[in-house]
Structure 1
């Protein structure tokens, strides 16, 4: 397996992996380009993982808050046809390394505790589970 930083030339592949990782996702290459052109992405990176046949199997975006501050992995997904083979753990470990290169002092993830696959993946990559935080919504 190889892991590479995704650039504009990889936008279609990056978007396809995300759509195949999250049911109902409509993420497109245009969405990726808009995200990557935004100011917050100046401290961000997208990584793509490829299997031994050169097929893109996982993706992650990392966001650094700057030198000496925490970083966030969000989203991380493994193509539904390639789950259970260690790609999620591998790209998560690579994401933490990318955050370290960006100067982050720690790495955070945010996923619903009901997402057992994601929780297991993050735990296998060395993350510790914290007390759940509930979102708040207000009817409009």
Structure 2
């Protein structure tokens, strides 16, 4: 998936470069999609070696920029996923503690009722708070 995203990013960068070359060459960027690549190759082939080297260096710089941007995105995503997992685990723990406390309170209440009922059935008199 990451490789596919990188390929798409490089493809998008190439399309932008082709559009820029077409604009500089005087052709409209939307003129015939497939011939754009051919025009790009013709412009590159007709340029002098110094211009080609400069263009190649710029393409490499842009590629490295996109590559580092993608690496930052992947790292941010990993951190976010870890944070979400931690928050989810914490919420699960809070829910379990709350559930255990409610269960304990119910058991305590039930035990108190049984104790009172059991005491009354044996003839003990409950003291009222008057």
TM bin, normalised by shorter chain, reads under 0.3
Structure having the higher strand fraction is 1
Higher CA-based Rg: 2
Higher relative contact order (CA 8 A, sep 6+): 1
TM (norm. structure 1) is 0.25
Structure showing the higher helix proportion among its residues: 2
Instruction: Give the TM-score of the pair, scaled to structure 2.
Output: 0.27
